[in-house]
Amino acid sequence: MTSRRKFLKNAILSSTLMIPGAVKSEANFLSSRKKNFAQKPLFLSTWNHGQAANEKAWEILQNSGSILDAVEEGVKVTEADIRSRSVGLTGFPDRDGHVTLDASIMNSDGNCGSVCFVERIKHPITLARKVMEETPHVMLAGDGAQQFAVSQGMPLEDVELPDDVVREYEEWKETSEYNPAANSENHDTIGMVGIDGDGNLAGSCTTSGLKFKMHGRVGDSPIIGAGLYVDNEVGAATATGMGETIIKVCGSFLIVELMRQGRTPQEACEEAIDRLLQKTPFETDSELQVGFLAIDKNGDHGAYAVQSGFTYAIHHQEGNSIENSDCRYETMVE
Ligand code: SD4
């Protein structure tokens, strides 16, 4: 499959990041500028499954829920969706057959909570919120997170891998080739950032992580500043894709700091992708994918990805739609 793909690289990438044979494409750069328009309230969520999550978040806000309630309830829709293979308990397992979940949440007051490497919990985002609100801590992991969940009245679920997941896992075990992949065919992590009518921001991020990852592997999604960051004076950002590369640049924190320095959300997302590509160079035919979403304090937004294929959902007064993110490398299927 990789041999059928080639990439057209976006025109604004500096020459230090050029790959041999890449062709410049200016159109992508121009289109990334024209979509910016300030809106409040506004929700942005990663991938197509973000549309249902945004719908719920919008409904919560309209019914006098807080922006924090909205981003929690929104991504719970994805966590509960039994079709999801990358969020919640129907996600792909790690290479030992365990479904281990990561989640984080951040509020407009700067508070945050997260859980990682947690098993048998249907709504890790709610557990992350409980860590934020009911403990003096920010992050709980593994068994400790699970024990805390039980102490908070959350049931331990029996995990039954869906048939297609079992089939794929059994096939994978025949070679057990360790190549944990961001699972874009199955829509990936959900990250959501939102702003209410008064300009208060919050965000949430929840995932089962990379399929067939090492047992114990934790990605960017529960790491505050990597998979999610919110600063109510500036803006909010979230991430999806290969978590290791996002952690290396503190991707979401980087985007918020760039907005603080005056970049638009779109410029900040693009600069963060460039920074990421400096640390993790992109090879022709690479499977590397990362997507960033950002909102600033005014309700302006941005989205950018390493390569084509990253979609996101946007909900404002005029509706709830799915958009194709602009990207640094256009994938051309020959
Ligand atoms: C992780 N960022 O665990 C998550 C997974 C993901 O596209 O978003 N995959 O690294």
Whole-prediction pTM value?
0.91
Ligand 1 pocket mutation pick from 185, 187, 190, 210 by most atoms within 8 angstroms of CB? 210
Active site residues: 189
Tokens encoding 153? 């009245």
Q: At what angle do helices 265-279 and 26-34 cross, to 10 degrees?
A: 140
Q: Is residue 189 in contact with ligand 1, taking CB distance under 6 Å?
A: yes
Tokens encoding 297? 């304090």
Q: Is residue 320 in contact with ligand 1, taking CB distance under 6 Å?
A: no
Cβ-proximal residues to 205 (8 Å cutoff; 6+ apart), any chain:
75, 103, 104, 105, 189, 190, 191, 192, 221, 222, 227, 228, 238, 239
Tokens encoding 320? 């709830």
Q: Which domains does the chain have, with CATH numbers?
A: 5-333 (3.60.20.30)
The pLDDT tens digits along the chain (334 residues) read 333 445 555 544 433 233 333 332 433 443 444 455 789 999 999 999 999 999 999 999 999 999 999 999 999 999 999 999 999 999 999 999 999 999 999 999 999 999 999 999 999 999 999 999 999 999 999 999 999 999 999 999 999 999 999 999 999 989 888 877 665 555 589 999 999 999 999 999 999 999 999 999 999 999 999 999 999 999 999 999 999 999 999 999 999 999 999 999 999 999 999 999 999 988 877 889 999 999 999 999 999 999 999 999 999 999 999 999 999 998 755 4
Q: Is residue 205 in contact with ligand 1, taking CB distance under 6 Å?
A: no
CB atoms within 10 A of CB 133: 12
CA dist 295 and 297 (Å) reads 7
Q: Is residue 108 in contact with ligand 1, taking CB distance under 6 Å?
A: no
Ligand 1 pocket mutation pick from 92, 220, 223, 306 by most atoms within 8 angstroms of CB? 220
Q: What is the pLDDT of residue 22?
A: 36
What pLDDT, in 10s, does the model give residues 242-294?
999 999 999 999 999 999 999 999 999 999 999 999 999 888 778 899 999 99
Atom 3, ligand 1: which residue's CA is nearest?
209
What pLDDT, in 10s, does the model give residues 180-223?
766 555 558 999 999 999 999 999 999 999 999 999 999 999 99
Q: Within 13 A of 120's CA, how many CA atoms are on the CB side?
A: 14
Which residue is associated with the tokens 């909102």?
A: 295
CB of 121 closer than 8 Å to CB of 127: yes
Q: Is residue 222 in contact with ligand 1, taking CB distance under 6 Å?
A: no
